């Protein structure tokens, strides 16, 4: 057998339909969808990354991003865990339509949330609701790999749920410390709702974190959950002495969108975080952007993204997050230069091939795009 033939069959990029192999009911409104990778190859990704899922809803393609929840050590396939959101077009489509044997369009993996981690440094994971999903992928990856003998993980995971019935992966959370002693789990319920609950109650607070994580200032902190939770978590950990440069976030909100999808900013104190271009220092000079295939041109200032300029001119282009992390608006730039402040929705090799994300690219010269 040759060395090449002995290497594992892997894939590091998805862009096409995947077949659903199983559906698991996690809570009353959360399901895990297990998807087969092409030719059953192992998917290479960083724990904490996500994929973009596209579904046809009422005749239109709609995309949303979901964190990968299967461990990075899995032999083949991947899983996404999706909370059904009232009015959320893609989450509802998945819950109502995707069954074993069905197909769904998947691209990715994307995102840089997991890259914020430094091997060997202690971590604090703060999550709420479905914000647990990328951090559960990290925990599962630690358990499956057992880490190396020289670099053992030291993770405190503090998860908040509304009620005990809303705790995602409840049984697994209760077993994590036994499976890997380097992971300690604290689960907090806001409203026990008459159910038997002997754990912590309430919301995130200074008192809770001081008790649960007395060495918080020395830890890298990863936060994921709804916006109000993330704001409260950020304020509290900074008050308790956390280094702002070691606080990293994965946001599950895109303004008024009904489906919540992750948008990474790391570190939280960085200017222009979240993939939104920072206009400071940019001029209001306008450049011409030509959409080669449609034959249209628009004027776009250096403080306006190309996607916004196109939309204001009546041009439509596929997009979803508008934050530089889902990859839906990826386009080839045929000529010109742009400033692109993305949040992991495009790979370095794609940038080298002159791909750009229109939602987070502002022109610094006249530009021609293949759209």
Question: What pLDDT does 283 receive?
Answer: 56
Domain map (residue ranges) of the chain: 7-110, 114-274, 286-369
The CATH H-level (homologous superfamily) assignment of domain 7-110 is: Translation factors (2.40.30.10)
Give the integer Cα–Cα distance in Å for 323 and 276.
Answer: 6
Mean per-residue pLDDT, 345-363? 91
Instruction: Give the E-state strand segments of 28-59 in sequence order.
Output: 30-36, 42-43, 50-57
Q: Model confidence over 209-254: pLDDT tens digits?
A: 999 999 999 999 999 999 999 999 999 999 999 999 999 998 755 4
The residue written with tokens 């409104």 in the block is: 29
Instruction: Assign domain 286-369 one CATH number from 3.30.200.20, 1.20.910.10, 3.30.479.30, 3.10.20.30.
Output: 3.10.20.30
Judge contact between 50 and 108, C-beta under 8 A.
Answer: yes
Mark out the alpha helices in 38-179 (DSSP H runs). Answer: 89-97, 132-145, 170-179
Please tell me whether residue 48 adopts helix, strand or coil conformation: coil
Which one, of 258, 204, 207, 208, lies nearest residue 231 by Cα?
204
Residue 277: is its pLDDT beyond 70? no
What is the DSSP-derived secondary structure letter of residue 348?
H
Note the pTM of the prediction, 2 decimals.
0.81
Mean per-residue pLDDT, 307-321? 86
Q: Model confidence over 254-273: pLDDT tens digits?
A: 443 334 344 444 333 332 33
Mean per-residue pLDDT, 325-336? 90
Give the integer Cα–Cα distance in Å for 144 and 269.
Answer: 33
Class at the top of the CATH hierarchy for domain 114-274 = alpha beta
Residue 278: is its pLDDT beyond 60? no
In this prediction, residue 1 has a pLDDT band, given cuts at 50, 70 and 90, of: very low
Give the integer Cα–Cα distance in Å for 83 and 191.
Answer: 19
In sequence order, the 6+-apart residues with CB closer than 8 A to the CB of 324 are 263, 275, 276, 340, 341, 342, 343, 344, 345, 346, 357, 359, 360
């Amino acid at each position: 057998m040759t060395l090449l033939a002995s290497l594992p069959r892997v894939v590091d990029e998805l862009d096409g339909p995947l077949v659903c192999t199983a559906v698991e009911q996690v809570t009353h409104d959360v399901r895990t969808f297990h998807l087969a990778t092409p030719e059953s190859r192992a998917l290479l990704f960083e724990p904490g990354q996500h994929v973009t899922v596209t579904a046809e809803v009422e005749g239109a393609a709609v995309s949303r991003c979901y964190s990968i929840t299967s461990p990075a050590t899995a032999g083949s396939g991947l899983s996404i865990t999706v909370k059904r959101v009232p009015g959320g077009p893609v989450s509802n489509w998945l819950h109502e339509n995707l069954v074993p044997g069905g197909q769904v369009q998947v691209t990715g993996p994307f995102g840089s949330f997991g890259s914020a981690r430094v091997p060997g440094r202690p971590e604090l994971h703060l999550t709420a609701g479905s914000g647990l999903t990328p951090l559960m992928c990290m925990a599962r990856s630690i358990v499956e790999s057992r880490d190396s003998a020289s670099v053992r993980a030291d993770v405190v995971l503090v998860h908040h749920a509304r009620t005990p019935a809303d705790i995602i992966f409840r049984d697994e959370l209760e077993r994590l410390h036994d499976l890997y002693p380097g992971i300690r789990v604290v689960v907090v319920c806001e409203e026990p709702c008459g159910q038997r609950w002997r754990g912590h109650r309430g919301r995130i607070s200074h008192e809770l974190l001081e008790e649960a994580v007395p060495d918080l200032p020395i830890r890298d902190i990863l936060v994921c959950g709804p916006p109000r939770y993330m704001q409260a978590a950020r304020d509290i950990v900074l008050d308790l002495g956390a280094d702002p440069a070691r606080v990293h976030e994965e946001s599950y909100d895109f303004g008024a969108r009904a489906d919540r999808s992750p948008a990474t900013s790391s570190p939280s104190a960085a200017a222009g975080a979240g993939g939104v271009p920072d206009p400071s220092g940019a001029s209001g000079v306008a450049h011409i952007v030509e959409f080669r295939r449609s034959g249209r041109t628009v004027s776009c200032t250096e403080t306006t993204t190309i996607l916004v300029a196109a939309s204001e001119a009546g041009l439509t282009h596929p997009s979803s997050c508008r934050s530089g992390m889902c990859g839906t608006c990826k386009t080839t730039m045929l000529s010109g230069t742009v400033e692109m402040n993305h949040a992991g929705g495009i790979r370095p090799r794609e940038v080298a091939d002159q791909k750009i994300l229109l939602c987070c690219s502002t022109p610094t010269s006249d530009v021609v795009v293949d759209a």
